[in-house]
Amino acid sequence: MAEFESNVSPRTIAVTAGRPLGEGDPLNEPIVLASNFRAGPEYARTHGTRTWAALEEAIGLLEGGRGLTSSSGMAVASAIVFALRPEIVVLPSVSYLGVRALLGDLSARQDLQTREVAIQNTLEVVAALDRASHEAKSGSDGVVLWVETPTNPTLDIADLARLCREATSRGIRVVVDSTFATPIGAQPLRDGATVVMHSGTKFIGGHSDLLIGAAVTTDDAVYEALARARVVQGATPGALEAFLALRGLRTLPLRYEASARSAEQLAALLTSHPHIESVRQAGPMLSFVVRGGAEAADRVCASTTVIVPATSLGGVESTMERRQKYPGDAHVAPGLIRMSVGIEAIDDLWNDLQCALASIGSR
């Protein structure tokens, strides 16, 4: 693994980490299309490949820990639950619906219990941790705090540093889903998190052309448990996907910074628009509520020409959708639109949004 001084910029790490260093090597690690290897015990599912290793090195260096990749963000979430074996998970009531579905299914099978909280309300979270510690058979060892910040899709912001301090002082492990923040917008391990996870499908990949997940930890025992989960669950990343994710990671800092600047400008413009009730912005992500509820928001999403109506996020293209239409997000405002801002020209994005919002009054 390459070593970097502590003051090296994330932009430099993103470009240089995980590259072959030998004389005559290619500048980037090639795609390794192999399931097993000559004259050795190595097997791709159990030992990985050089393509995986390069990506894991780069993500690990950006986050400040040991990285491990898997077939998707949900595969990583499942591996974390498998590895940590919590009795009780305290999680945001507004958060990614896939993770809540996973934990809900496990709760229904009585494999664990969940306690939902408003993650932005630190006192409420701490109180829930204390109750869970008393309720869990193994005390605080049986409790996991699952933090998502910003939350999906409402962009609630948790006081991550304080939550990590409060949890770790009680012996409670902390999982942080940092998919929206990316390694550029947050450093959860430095705040004291046990493990940070990403859906690399989103901003890390950055081009809407792959599925991959990643977890990073500084705890060797947790890392080994995650690696074991990947082996026995078989949720390995594809060779091409790992290669493409590393390619995307190279430009993550530039894409994140450009998209965040545009999102900030769009948020300011939307705030004063008569058809908008409220606006939140966190990094490249926007969440805004359209006056007129579900029908009006659907009309806006259907009326754009530059912004793509799509369910995923984090690509170079701007995407948006009304989230309440999904059963897992039924509790958010009917007119809430989640928008992932891409790298298009800001004037084109704003003109597109203005025209789409004007369609509400043109019926």
Q: Whole-prediction pTM value?
A: 0.95
* Amino acid 361: pLDDT: 75
* Amino acid 317: pLDDT: 98
Instruction: Count CA within 13 A, CB hemisphere, residue 179.
Output: 29
Query: For residues 312 and 185, what is the distance between their CA atoms, to the nearest angstrom?
Result: 19
> For the range 121-124, what are the long-range contacts, defined as Cβ-Cβ under 8 Å and sequence gap of 24 or more?
122/158, 122/159, 122/162, 122/163, 122/166
Indicate whether 99 pLDDT > 70: yes
Indicate whether 180 pLDDT > 90: yes
**β-sheet with 195-199: strand ranges across:** 66-70, 213-217, 195-199, 173-177, 143-148, 88-92, 113-117
Average pLDDT score over residue span 121-141? 97
Question: What's the mean pLDDT when you consider all of the chain?
Answer: 95
Question: Which tens digits make up the pLDDT trace of 23-44?
Answer: 999 999 999 999 998 887 788 9
* Amino acid 328: pLDDT: 87
* Amino acid 137: pLDDT: 96
Question: Which tens digits make up the pLDDT trace of 315-347?
Answer: 999 999 999 999 888 889 999 999 999 999 999
Average pLDDT score over residue span 260-281? 98
**Torsion, Cα of 35, 38, 43, 47 (10° steps):** -120
Question: 106: exposed, middle or buried (C-beta count within 10 Å: 0-12, 13-18, 19+)?
Answer: middle
Q: Is residue 100 very low, low, confident or very high in pLDDT (cuts 50, 70, 90)?
A: very high
**Are the beta carbons of 287 and 155 closer than 8 angstroms?**
yes
Amino acid at 299: R
- Residue 153, preceding peptide bond in cis (omega within 30° of 0): yes
Burial call 272-309: b when 16+ CB within 10 Å, e when fewer: eeebbeebbbbbbbbbbbbebbeebbbbbbebbebbbe
Average pLDDT score over residue span 262-277? 97
Indicate whether 179 pLDDT > 50: yes
Parallel, antiparallel, or unpaired for β 173-177 and 195-199? parallel
Indicate whether 362 pLDDT > 80: no
Q: Does domain 253-362 have CATH number 3.90.1150.10?
A: yes
* Amino acid 38: pLDDT: 87
* Amino acid 1: pLDDT: 44
* Amino acid 6: pLDDT: 62
* Amino acid 3: pLDDT: 56
Query: For residues 179 and 223, what is the distance between their CA atoms, to the nearest angstrom?
Result: 19
- CATH class, range 10-250: alpha beta
User: Which distant-in-sequence residues (6+ apart) come within 8 Å of 354 by Cβ?
Assistant: none
* Amino acid 4: pLDDT: 56
Q: Is residue 257 very low, low, confident or very high in pLDDT (cuts 50, 70, 90)?
A: very high
* Amino acid 363: pLDDT: 52
Question: Which tens digits make up the pLDDT trace of 297-319?
Answer: 999 999 999 999 999 999 999 99
Domain boundaries, the chain: 10-250, 253-362
Question: 248: exposed, middle or buried (C-beta count within 10 Å: 0-12, 13-18, 19+)?
Answer: buried
Question: What are the two backbone dihedrals, phi and then psi, of residue 24, each rounded to the nearest 5 degrees?
Answer: 85, -5
Question: Which tens digits make up the pLDDT trace of 182-220?
Answer: 999 999 999 999 999 999 999 999 999 999 999 999 999
Query: For residues 99 and 148, what is the distance between their CA atoms, to the nearest angstrom?
Result: 10
Average pLDDT score over residue span 66-85? 98
Query: For residues 31 and 38, what is the distance between their CA atoms, to the nearest angstrom?
Result: 17
Question: 14: exposed, middle or buried (C-beta count within 10 Å: 0-12, 13-18, 19+)?
Answer: buried
**Are the beta carbons of 156 and 183 closer than 8 angstroms?**
no
